[in-house]
Amino acid sequence: MKILQLIATACVCLGGTTSYSVARPAHQKPNIVFIEVDDLNYKYSGLAEKKLLETPNIDRIAQSGTYFKNAMCQGMMCGPSRNSLISGLYPHSMGFYRNGQMGSFPKGTWMFPQALQKAGYFTSYIGKSHIKGYAGTKGGLGPDLGFDHSQHTAGRAVLLGKAKKGGAIDDWYFNFLQEEGLFETLVADSENKRNSTLAEDAYLDGFFTKATLDFLDGYKAKKPFFLWINYSLPHGPHDVADKYHTFSADDMPGVQKANFTPPEKLVKDTKRVKTDMKETQADYCAATTFMDRQVGRVLENLKKNNMLENTVVVFFSDHGIMMGDHERIHKGTLFRQITTPSLLVSWPKGFKQNTVVKTPVELMDVIPTALELADGSQFDERKINLGESLLPLLTGKGTYERKLAFGEVESYVAVSDGRYRLIRGEGHNLLFDDLNDPDNLTEISEQHPEKTAELAKAVDEWLSKTGPVIPPKGF
């Protein structure tokens, strides 16, 4: 109970009152679309300097907007990242560092879609969900959390697991497959370890796109809308249809070796690879290609419905994944391949275009950015530190105050100043030069003791400022 009281207090009392004010009539407020993907390693898109595949639609957003090259997500697994983003709470403020560690939010925890509703927005969530509900309620992504419209699913892996156990399943995607007589096809594809034989709009991410297009085609309200699309790809299994598997393993980079041995607890959620990873990387490229196509379908629909000109598009991944980097696979650690969310923001009508920002930012900064766009100045009941609005970096007007960006896993914190990254925890300080060693293969703390000490102090101050630090499963 004491922990719940601490968190409920943190939800309204940390930091000073923040005012978001870009006053404009409701009809002039832009629509806001978040396109969130899952497990995108930044090196596997058109954003990378060495391109392994083409992602024309992600590139389209980058060319019409801003790429935050040194952005950092706050949680390194799906659950921690997404719940941190919706609530504005760091993982250590929730005790939520790994999937499955948190059951629900204390009732009354502030959620940013609620503020957008109060600012006159119609709010919608479509896709895969790891968002938790409130304690003592049935949960779900409905009105309680600030969504006027919600269509979400637990995803393929959960559904297949439940199907094996038997019993009733009530899930948006499962119900669709059952009604169309397609669930057996999904099961057969999985059991036979073959690429999907479902039609594009019946495959999970295509299904999300179809629901999104239906929402946009049918949207007639005079209110501006906030739409949060959550794709599952390129998260595995990488079983998109055969026609997307056009990549040769011979063209893939294979594994990378680092010159240091990381602390075991820092990498406990990753696995050492037993192959050269090239086949897996080729399949990952196929899944990313399919995901990129879905992004393009959304952009084209916005354009068709004459919405794109007045829509702010924010593209990002919840976190990245190791694809043979450091001879490892999976996530839950703090190297750049995991912490970089490939954050893009585009609104040609109001923001700079074809711009790369190297200033360190946090993924959580998209919350005050959205609130400022929505004119959230009247909603001062939110008194927690939500980070910094990105508008000064997007417009070239005003000052962006952040100098350091932070992300975390259990017992370890990463901090970046845009050049150097320190991973600190349990008596360990690992320093990397993200500019000259973007894959964090060479540990350099002994060569740069002053920078190591400077960033170590910053981590300690950040934890003190944003505490208390809640242990795992603290909620």
In the structure encoding, which two tokens stand for residue 206, read together?
A: 């295509």
291/38 Cα distance (integer angstroms) = 10
Q: What are phi and psi of 259, to 5 degrees?
A: -100, 15
Q: pLDDT value at position 377?
A: 54
Q: Of 63, 89, 116, 37, give the one whose Cα is nearest residue 362.
A: 89
What does DSSP assign to residue 415? E
**Cα–Cα distance for residue pair 185/196, rounded to 1 Å:** 8
> In the structure encoding, which two tokens stand for residue 236, read together?
């595995």
Please tell me the predicted confidence (pLDDT) of residue 212: 98
Instruction: Compute mean pLDDT per 10 residues along the chain, 475 residues long, and list them.
Output: 39 33 59 98 94 96 98 97 95 95 91 92 95 82 90 91 86 96 96 97 98 97 96 97 98 97 97 97 98 98 97 98 97 98 97 98 95 71 68 96 96 98 98 97 98 98 94 82
Tokens of 387: 């980070």
**Short-list 458, 474, 466, CA closest to 10:** 466
Rounded CA gap, 467 and 3, in Å? 12
Question: Which H or E run includes 396?
Answer: none
Q: What is the pLDDT of residue 141?
A: 80
Query: What pLDDT score was predicted for residue 49?
Result: 87
196 contacts 92 by C-beta, under 8 angstroms: no
List C-alpha distances in Å: 152 to 124, 172, 290, 346. 10, 6, 20, 25
Q: Report the C-alpha gap between 169 and 189 in whole angstroms.
A: 20
Cα atoms in the 13 Å half-sphere on the side-chain side of 407: 35
Q: Would you kindly state where each structural domain of the chain is located, as residue ranges?
A: 2-392
CATH H-level superfamily of 2-392: Alkaline Phosphatase, subunit A (3.40.720.10)
> Regarding beta strands 270-272 and 405-409, do their DSSP bridges make them parallel or antiparallel, or are they unpaired?
unpaired
Amino acid of residue 128: K
Beta strands in 31-148, from DSSP E residues, in sequence order: 31-38, 65-68, 71-72, 122-128
The pLDDT, as a whole number, for residue 83 is 96
Strands 361-362 and 71-72: parallel
Separation CA 376–CA 203 (nearest Å) = 38
Could you give the maximum distance between any two Cα atoms of the chain, in Å?
A: 63
The count of other CB atoms within 10 Å of the CB of residue 382 is 22
pLDDT of residue 359: 97
